[in-house]
């Protein structure tokens, strides 16, 4: 059962006391006043904790109390210092390392039917080899129904140790019965540089979606390969797109910066409380392979952590033009501490704790402040009607239906159809799209159809761009769809213009 926040904090101190009893960084320095005060408060807590254990009206679950207590203790610190249960801790380690035991599928709960759906199957993965397809509905995982499941819950169920099996039940269009697949998990390598292409005659574009590193691949190495191919294609200028990049290992941000900055350049330094994190500087160790090409770094309010380190270094050294929005301002160093001693068996929970802050070469504290772009760009607002159609899945559903009807000629047929937009609008109407809040449409003439048609007609260009992207995705895959999307991106166009 739950107890009050006071009790949670009380039990948190008990956990700290347990840590103090072990040989650790905490047990080496009891001489200062702060440590003596800490011990005194722990003794006070111990007294209260025993009263709770012996006298509280009902028996309490020790694990639940202690885990809640730890969260209560950490809640007064920054938002990045958190206690993680075993499943969450394992997931964050997998994501940080850039690899995990999985199936090789991208999934989502589709809004039109609230079912767990395979959105994409990665090439060369276990899922592809057994025959899973995009649009398959995952109705069971290891014999349990997925009704009401969240995407995160499904990920936790399907990820696991490489070499272990997971069974999924699939509902597939055209098949009356459920299809069962037994799939052996493998290490899935995260593609942190998923897309690159020539955005103009001599301007290359590279998307860095995150920073990651494992035994076989890394962001900096993948970027280097992409850059080499772009150079062969005639690249003399470059756009590096870090929008929405949440960060990752610091070493990879330093390595990527090293492709562009002079040998010996300071990339970032850390400032912490004590020990090796008190101040640590990171320099470029080798001569740059792309030290002269002009380039733009695109960032937005979701660019964080390692992406801010990279951006700050390139900006301070005046090596690139930073364009877009002010970055998120999350530039602190966290370390992951496994707490396996707290688990009875198997992988235990863990602690993610902030131990230092990042500073750009010019001494700018990134955390909380972010990186200001040199050229401000305004985020393109998605028109209300287009946004609602997108969120409810209408563009994707129409593209799927269109591809089913036209097969291999779908893209050519769509691009050659002058009435494609009108057909889409009619298809949406046939399916009872509700643009207005429930009950409001009844107060309008013809249930508001005239106003809705006028609104979607006004946003024809935006709607057709998204619709075309989805048709391309069905016909030619994610890479071609992304290339089309970014070639129609106002920010990419602004970056090309900046480099011209």
The chain-wide mean pLDDT, for the chain, equals 86
Contacts of 128 (CB under 8 A, 6+ apart): 104, 121, 122
Q: Residue 345 — pLDDT band, cuts 50, 70, 90?
A: low
Contacts of 278 (CB under 8 A, 6+ apart): 271, 272
Domains of the chain are 5-76 (no CATH), 99-189 (2.30.42.10), 195-376 (3.90.226.10), 384-499 (no CATH)
Task: Burial-class residue 426 by CB neighbours within 10 Å (0-12, 13-18, 19+).
Answer: exposed
Residues acting as catalytic residues: 305, 316, 330
Task: Give the whole-angstrom CA distance, residue 380 versus residue 318.
Answer: 27
What's the mean pLDDT in 111-138? 90
What's the mean pLDDT in 455-471? 94
Q: Does 343 have pLDDT greater than 50?
A: no
Adjacent-strand bridge partners of 137: 117, 171
Q: What angle do helix axes 250-257 and 306-316 make, rounded to 10 degrees?
A: 30
Task: Give the whole-angstrom CA distance, residue 193 versus residue 218.
Answer: 9
Task: Give the whole-angstrom CA distance, residue 183 versus residue 76.
Answer: 43
Contacts of 104 (CB under 8 A, 6+ apart): 121, 122, 124, 125, 126, 127, 128, 186, 188
Task: Give the whole-angstrom CA distance, residue 247 versus residue 324.
Answer: 17
Q: Does 298 have pLDDT greater than 50?
A: yes
DSSP per residue, 132-146: --TT-EEEEETTEE-
Q: Residue 6 — pLDDT band, cuts 50, 70, 90?
A: very low
Q: Which position has the token pair 């009844």?
A: 442
DSSP per residue, 434-466: --SPTTTGGGSGGGGHHHHHHHHHHTHHHHHHH
What's the mean pLDDT in 372-396? 91
Contacts of 271 (CB under 8 A, 6+ apart): 277, 278, 279, 356, 357, 359
Task: Give the whole-angstrom CA distance, residue 182 versus residue 335.
Answer: 36
Q: Which of these, 260, 264, 232, 490, lies nearest to 377 by C-alpha position?
A: 490
- Residue 341: the pLDDT is 56
- pLDDT tens, residue by residue, 350-373: 999 988 899 999 999 999 899 999
Contacts of 37 (CB under 8 A, 6+ apart): none
Q: Which of these, 210, 206, 376, lies nearest to 307 by C-alpha position?
A: 210
* Tokens at 206, concatenated: 């590279």
Do 488 and 465 form a contact (C-beta atoms < 8 A)? yes
Adjacent-strand bridge partners of 138: 170
Q: Residue 99 — pLDDT band, cuts 50, 70, 90?
A: low
- Top pLDDT among 443 and 356 is at 356
- pLDDT tens, residue by residue, 28-65: 444 566 778 888 888 887 887 788 888 889 988 878 87
């Amino acid at each position: 059962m739950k107890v009050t926040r006071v009790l949670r904090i009380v039990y948190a101190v008990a956990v700290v006391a347990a840590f103090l009893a072990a040989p650790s960084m905490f047990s080496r320095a009891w001489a200062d006043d702060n440590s003596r005060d800490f011990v005194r408060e722990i003794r006070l807590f111990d007294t209260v904790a025993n009263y709770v254990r012996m006298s509280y009206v009902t028996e309490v679950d020790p694990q639940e109390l202690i885990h809640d207590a730890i969260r209560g203790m950490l809640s007064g610190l920054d938002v990045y210092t958190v206690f993680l249960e075993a499943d969450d801790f394992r997931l964050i380690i997998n994501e940080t390392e850039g690899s995990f035991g999985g199936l090789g599928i991208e999934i989502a709960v589709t809004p039109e039917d609230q079912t767990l759906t395979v959105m994409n199957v990665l090439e060369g993965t276990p899922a592809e080899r057994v025959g899973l397809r995009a649009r398959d509905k995952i109705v069971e995982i290891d014999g349990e129904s997925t009704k009401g499941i969240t995407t995160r819950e499904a990920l936790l169920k399907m990820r696991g140790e490489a070499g272990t099996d997971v069974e999924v039940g699939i509902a597939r269009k055209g098949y009356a019965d459920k299809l069962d697949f037994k799939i052996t998990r493998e290490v899935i390598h995260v593609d942190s540089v998923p897309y690159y292409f020539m955005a103009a005659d001599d301007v290359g574009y590279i998307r860095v979606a995150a920073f990651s590193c494992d035994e076989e691949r890394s962001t900096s190495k993948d970027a280097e390969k992409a850059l080499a191919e772009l150079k062969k294609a005639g690249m003399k200028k470059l756009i590096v797109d870090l929008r929405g990049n949440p960060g990752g290992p610091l070493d990879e941000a330093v390595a990527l910066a090293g492709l562009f900055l002079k040998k010996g350049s300071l990339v970032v330094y850390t400032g912490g409380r004590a020990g090796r994190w008190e101040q640590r500087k990171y320099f470029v160790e080798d001569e740059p392979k792309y030290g002269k090409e002009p380039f733009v770094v695109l960032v937005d309010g979701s660019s964080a952590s390692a992406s801010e380190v990279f951006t700050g270094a390139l900006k301070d050294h005046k090596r690139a033009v930073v364009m877009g929005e002010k970055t998120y301002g999350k530039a602190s160093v966290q370390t992951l501490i496994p707490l396996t001693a707290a688990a009875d068996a198997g992988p235990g929970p863990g602690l993610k704790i902030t131990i230092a802050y990042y500073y750009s070469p010019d001494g700018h504290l990134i955390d909380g402040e972010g990186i200001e772009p040199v050229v401000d760009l305004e985020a393109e607002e998605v028109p209300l009607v287009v946004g609602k159609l997108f969120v409810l899945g209408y563009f994707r559903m129409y593209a799927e239906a269109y591809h089913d009807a036209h097969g291999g000629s779908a893209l050519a047929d769509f691009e050659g159809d002058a009435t494609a937009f009108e057909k889409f609008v009619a298809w949406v109407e046939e399916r009872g799209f509700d643009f207005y809040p429930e009950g409001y449409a009844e107060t309008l003439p013809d249930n508001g159809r005239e106003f809705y048609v006028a609104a979607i007609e006004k946003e024809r260009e935006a709607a057709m761009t998204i619709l075309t992207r989805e048709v391309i995705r069905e016909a030619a895959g994610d890479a071609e769809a992304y290339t089309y999307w970014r070639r129609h991106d106002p920010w990419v166009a602004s970056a090309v213009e900046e480099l011209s």
